[in-house]
Structures are given as structure tokens and as C-alpha cells.
């Protein structure tokens, strides 16, 4: 188990400890860590590419994996690694396309923070690149349909399982529940956000009565799934999953703010709204109410504005110095404009 | 008298230098960061160019909306921000309490103010996203 020190900014990571953990977890006689390096993307979690050679045990052979660990400063509402690992296992078992979860390590002595390891899935996730390739190769509508179907599969996963007991069901109508949550988030920020509050007041007045609840991914959008050869390869980033109104996921996916410049392709900047919704409806066996959907698209802009303000504050407060976080403050005006456009009321 | 080029002009030439040869010389894996730096410089340049006036005008309009007539609008950026924070805090309280009622003049006036302000921020943060009618 060759020990190599990888420079990790403030702390040096001892890959020898990682190799020892892997050997224990995989029941191996020997593990050689070959690559352990940062993976681009993810303002919230810290993802590393891991390549290792495993000798002995049931997992013997080459390991091509991703290590997902908590970032230095964490958004309090995102699940910890243990919960996200449990979710991934549940989804993988249910046949949802996700990276195969392998091992969880809660011992901070190994990498300084808790983490889990999942098998690496080949594919493109970057939104800007994906919307371009989808347009050039003409697979946008087919991909949108695959995504609609996959989301229906997610919503059909029973959430009452004991290993998912950390998921809390909303105590009031899901729209109102979200409004209260986002107000709490805003209260933790130093500056008032009047345009966002305007949107929240509108969302409170127009809240829909509660329908059937489902396990929601809550970050199902372009940028959070992998595509290989024009096909959906895996749905990523389960850290915000929860129990809520399934239309919330549909609205988040369709919202204008997640189209990466391809505004006319309403399904995530890749395909048509109809292709996405028709496939969802077919698989879910229910008709989606378009008016309710508009409500959740407005919610999506409000939510992204709240998250963007939180991310900007992580930099501004000194918790985590980052140009990417700092610049997130400047996506807010565009969201505010959209929120106001969507909430004109006899004005 | 400060030397020319001005601060805004310096930022502009810094941004152009970065986006030119420098960007091309960077490995693919660092290009995104360089583009972020160029974007940050561009935003700072636009804000600097427009100065304190937009926020002073915003404060004057907001003070009227909140019934604060009289009292001069400060010229110090820090004081302007502080006052904006206080008044917007009060507006947010009213919004949450449901006291801004649709179909009233006040509702319309606040909506118009928030739109004007969002557009103004968009001019600085991301002018490419300005709606075609006002761009």
C-alpha cells in the first residue's frame, strides 16, 4: 500500500489510509491507489476521481470510481454522505439509472471528512456542452423523453422504507412548506432580498392544495445527469432529495433558468416540453396539470435565487473563498427579473 | 489628478488581455476559471463606471415608497447601502405579513420599483440577459 501525499489545499491527504480503508471495505488482500484527484463541478460537494487496483476479495480488479465527500463549507440543508449513500442504494436497487454505490466511510480519520465511493459512470454532465451536442446531433427530444421516464421511475420509488427514515414529509401543503423553508433560509442571510420575497408572497397566495406525495430528487436538471452517446447514463447529485410534490421536480427541470442559453428548448435546454412531459405521463400513469406546473416553475426561480444568495454568502462571509461562489451573486438579477415577469397580478 | 487610464479602463484592458492570448495559452482544464475571472472583471468595470448614482436613485425611490419623505439621500456608498438595507428589510416584513395587497396602488408601485431595480442590476451583472425591449 504505497503511501503518497496528495496536496489538498490546506490539508494533505494520505492515500495510504484510503488504500487501507478500501482493502477493509472490499475484503481485499492489497489495494494500490493510482489516481486520486479533484473532479470538476459541484459547488457544494467535493468529488474526486479514484482509480485503484484491488487484489483479492470479491471486488478484485480495476476500480474506476468517484469519491464524494463533504465540501469544506456545507449547505446545512443538503444530506450528509451517509444519507445520500442510502438514497443511492435505494435508487440503484429500484433500477433507477444512478452510479452504483460501493462503500461508505463515516470515519473522519481516513480523509478528514466522511465520504462514499461510487462506481464511475462515463458521460458528459456539463450543461453548456450538453445542450450544444444535443442540438448538433439531434438527440434532444429522445433524451428529454428518457429523462421524463426516469423521473417517473424515481417518483414511483416507495419512500416509507426504514433506511430512508431521515426524509421528512412536509407538515403542510408542499408549496407552503417550501415557502416557509425559503423564508427561513433568507433570514440567515445578511441582506434583505425584496424581489425574492415578492415571489414568495405570490407563491404563498397561490399555493396549490396538497396532491399525492412522492420521493423527489429536488435537483433534477441539466448539469446533474450524465449522457453517453446521446443516452441518459446516470442521474447524479441526490443530496437534496426529499418527500414532496412530484410536480416540483418537473417544474425545476423545465424552468427557464436551467436551459443553459437554449431558451427555446424548454426541457432543460435539450428538448421540447412535450417530449419530456409525454414520456413522464406515460410512465407515471397520470396527467400533469399544466397550471400547477407553472406554479412550480415560478417556485424554481425563487428557489434558485435563494440558493444563489446562499452560495454568494458562503464567499462573502469568508466561510469559503471562491470566485465561482462570488459570481453566483450575479445570476440573481436575471432570476429576479423572471420572478417578477411570472408574478404580475393585475399590475 | 489621477493618471489616465482610469480604473474602469484598466479593468477593461486587463479583461481583454486575459480573453486574448492568455486564454488561448491556458490548458483546457483551466479555461473555465479564466473565463470566470474575465467575467468578474467585466462586472466590476460596469459597476465602477456607473458609480454610486444608481443606488442613490434606488434609495430615493424606495424612501418615497416607504413613506420616508424629507431627509437627504447620503452620498457615501456605505451609507446608501445601509439605508437600502433598513428600508428593504421593512418592505420584506410587509410582503411576508401579506400587507402588500394585489390590485392596490401600493402593490403596483412596489412591483414597478422592483422591476426597475432588477433591470438596473441586470445592466451590471449580466447585460446579455436584458430583455430585448430594454437592451
CATH number of the domain enclosing A81: 3.30.200.20
What are the chain B neighbours of A345 within 8 Å (beta carbons)?
A: 102-103, 107
Beta-carbon contacts of residue B128 (< 8 Å; ≥ 6 apart): none
Domain's final residue, options A119, A152, A176: A119
Both A78 and A167 in a single domain?
A: no
The answer as to whether A3 is a domain residue is: no
pLDDT of residue A76: 56
Residue A2 falls within a domain, yes or no? no
DSSP class of residue A209 equals P
Cis link prior to A63 (omega < 30° from 0)? no
**DSSP string computed for B77-104:** HHHHHHHHHHHHHHHHHHHHTT-S-TTS
Asked whether residue A207 falls in the same domain as residue A276, the answer is yes
Domain boundary among A119, A136, A166: A119
Chain A contacts of B102, Cβ < 8 Å?
205, 345-347
Task: Provide the pLDDT for residue A41.
Answer: 56
Task: Reply yes or no on whether the pLDDT at A201 is more than 60.
Answer: yes
- Do both A272 and A325 map to the same domain? yes
In this predicted structure, the answer to whether residue A168 has a pLDDT above a threshold of 80 is yes
Q: What is the dihedral of CA A98, A100, A102, A108, to 10 degrees?
A: -20
- CATH code, domain with A140: 3.90.1200.10
CB-nearest partner of A333 from B39, B85, B122 = B122
One domain, residues A42 and A179 = no
Best CA proximity match to A217, nearest among A88, A66, A69, A44: A88
| CA dist., res. A244 & res. A241, Å (int) | 9
pLDDT of A43 reads 52
Instruction: Check residue A46 and give its pLDDT.
Output: 80
- Dist CA A281 CA A284 (whole Å): 5
Confidence of residue A14 (pLDDT cuts 50, 70, 90): confident
Report the chain A residue with the minimal C-alpha distance to residue B39. A327
Radius of gyration of chain A (CA): 21
Region A89-107 average pLDDT = 95
Specify if A95 maps to a domain: yes
Are A132 and A106 in the same domain? Answer: no
pLDDT value of residue A40: 66
* Same structural domain, A147 and A192: yes
CB pair distance less than 8 Å for B122 and A334: yes
pLDDT tens digits, one per residue of A27-60: 999 999 999 988 865 555 688 999 999 999 999 9
Confidence check: pLDDT of A6 > 50: no
What pLDDT shows up at residue A4?
44
Residues A115 and A131 grouped into a single domain:
no
Who contacts A341 (Cβ-Cβ below 8 Å, separation ≥6)? none
Domain that holds residue A178: 127-342
CA-based angle A127:A129:A135, to the nearest 5? 100
Q: Is the Cβ–Cβ distance between A39 and A55 less than 8 Å?
A: no
Helix A246-254 × helix A290-316 angle, to 10°: 70
pLDDT at A163 over 60: yes
Residue A263 has pLDDT above 60, yes or no: yes
The answer to whether the CB atoms of A337 and B131 lie below 8 A apart is: yes
Instruction: Quote the ipTM score.
Output: 0.94
Contact B88 A205 (CB under 8 A): no
Residue A94 has pLDDT above 70, yes or no: yes
Grid coordinates representing A244 are: 414532496
pLDDT in tens, A126-160: 899 999 999 999 999 999 999 999 999 999 999 98
Same domain, A276 and A162: yes
Q: Which of these three, A86, A119, A152, is where a domain ends?
A: A119
Q: Do residues A138 and A60 both lie within one domain? A: no
Mean pLDDT taken over chain B: 93
| Count of domains forming chain A | 2
| Per-residue pLDDT at A337 exceeds 50 | yes
Task: Report yes or no on A262 lying in a domain.
Answer: yes
Most B CBs within 10 A among A182, A183, A194, hence the mutation to make, goes to A194
Is position A347 within any domain?
A: no
Asked if the structure places residue A1 within a domain, the reply is no
Q: Smallest Cα–Cα separation from A43: which of A335, A276, A340, A329?
A: A329
Q: How far apart are the first and last CA of chain A?
A: 69
Average confidence (pLDDT) over A96-107: 95
- A–B: how many Cβ contacts below 8 A? 91
CB contacts, 8 Å: B122 with chain A: 333-334, 337
Residues A104 and A226 in one domain: no
Interhelix angle A194-205/A174-187, nearest 10 degrees: 160
Examine the domain organization and report whether A143 and A250 are in the same domain. yes
Q: Which residues contact A152 (CB under 8 A, 6 or more apart)?
A: A279, A280, A281, A282, A283, A284
Between B45 and A10, residue with greater pLDDT: B45
Q: Measuring CA to CA, which residue among B96, B2, B11, B97 is closest to residue B47?
A: B11
- What span, in angstroms and rounded, lies between the C-alpha atoms of A210 and A239? 24
The answer on A154 and A112 residing in a single domain is no
Residue B56 has pLDDT above 90, yes or no: yes
Distance from CA of B3 to the nearest CA of A (A): 29
Q: How far apart are alpha carbons A142 and A87 in whole angstroms?
A: 27
Distances (CA, A) of A140 to A4, A32, A122, A133: 44, 41, 19, 9
Amino acid at each position: 500500500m504505497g503511501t503518497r501525499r496528495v496536496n489538498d489545499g490546506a490539508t494533505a491527504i494520505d492515500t495510504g489510509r484510503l488504500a487501507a480503508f478500501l482493502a477493509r471495505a472490499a475484503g481485499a488482500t492489497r489495494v494500490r491507489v493510482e489516481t486520486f484527484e479533484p473532479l470538476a463541478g459541484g459547488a457544494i460537494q467535493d468529488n474526486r476521481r479514484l482509480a485503484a487496483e484491488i487484489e483479492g476479495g470479491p471486488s478484485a480488479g480495476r476500480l474506476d470510481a468517484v469519491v464524494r465527500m463533504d465540501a469544506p463549507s456545507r449547505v446545512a440543508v443538503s444530506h450528509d454522505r451517509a444519507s445520500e449513500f442510502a438514497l443511492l442504494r435505494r435508487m440503484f436497487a429500484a433500477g433507477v439509472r444512478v452510479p452504483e454505490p460501493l462503500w461508505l466511510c463515516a470515519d473522519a480519520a481516513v480523509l478528514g471528512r466522511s465520504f462514499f465511493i461510487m462506481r464511475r459512470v462515463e458521460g458528459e454532465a456539463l450543461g453548456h456542452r450538453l445542450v450544444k451536442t444535443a442540438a448538433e446531433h439531434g438527440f434532444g427530444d429522445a433524451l428529454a423523453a428518457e429523462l421524463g421516464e426516469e423521473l417517473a421511475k424515481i417518483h414511483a420509488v416507495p419512500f416509507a422504507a426504514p433506511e430512508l427514515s431521515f426524509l421528512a414529509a412536509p407538515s403542510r401543503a408542499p408549496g407552503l412548506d417550501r415557502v416557509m423553508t425559503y423564508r427561513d433560509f433568507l433570514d440567515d442571510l445578511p441582506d434583505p432580498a425584496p424581489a425574492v420575497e415578492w415571489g414568495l408572497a405570490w407563491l404563498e397566495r397561490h399555493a396549490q392544495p396538497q396532491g399525492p406525495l412522492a420521493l423527489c430528487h429536488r435537483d433534477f436538471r441539466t448539469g446533474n445527469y450524465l449522457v453517453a452517446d446521446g443516452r441518459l447514463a446516470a442521474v447524479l447529485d441526490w443530496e437534496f432529495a426529499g418527500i414532496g410534490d412530484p410536480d416540483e421536480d418537473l417544474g425545476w427541470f423545465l424552468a427557464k433558468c436551467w436551459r443553459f442559453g437554449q431558451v427555446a428548448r424548454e426541457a432543460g435546454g435539450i428538448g421540447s416540453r412535450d417530449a419530456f412531459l409525454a414520456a413522464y405521463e406515460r410512465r407515471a400513469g397520470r396527467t400533469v396539470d399544466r397550471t400547477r406546473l407553472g406554479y412550480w416553475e415560478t417556485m424554481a426561480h425563487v428557489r434558485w435565487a435563494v440558493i444563489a444568495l446562499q452560495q454568494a454568502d458562503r464567499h462573502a462571509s469568508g466561510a469559503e473563498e471562491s470566485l465561482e461562489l462570488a459570481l453566483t451573486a450575479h445570476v440573481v438579477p436575471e432570476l429576479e427579473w423572471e420572478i417578477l415577469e411570472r408574478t404580475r397580478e393585475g399590475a | 489628478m489621477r493618471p489616465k487610464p482610469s480604473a474602469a479602463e484598466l479593468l477593461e484592458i486587463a479583461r481583454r488581455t486575459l480573453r486574448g492570448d492568455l486564454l488561448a495559452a491556458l490548458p483546457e482544464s483551466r479555461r473555465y476559471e479564466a473565463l470566470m475571472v474575465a467575467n468578474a472583471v467585466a462586472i466590476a468595470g460596469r459597476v465602477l463606471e456607473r458609480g454610486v448614482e444608481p443606488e442613490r436613485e434606488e434609495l430615493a425611490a424606495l424612501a418615497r415608497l416607504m413613506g420616508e419623505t424629507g431627509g437627504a439621500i447620503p452620498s457615501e456608498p456605505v451609507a446608501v447601502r445601509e439605508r437600502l438595507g433598513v428600508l428593504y428589510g421593512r418592505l420584506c416584513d410587509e410582503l411576508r405579513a401579506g400587507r402588500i395587497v394585489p390590485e392596490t396602488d401600493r402593490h403596483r408601485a412596489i412591483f414597478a420599483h422592483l422591476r426597475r431595480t432588477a433591470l438596473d442590476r441586470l445592466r451590471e451583472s449580466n447585460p446579455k440577459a436584458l430583455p430585448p425591449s430594454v437592451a
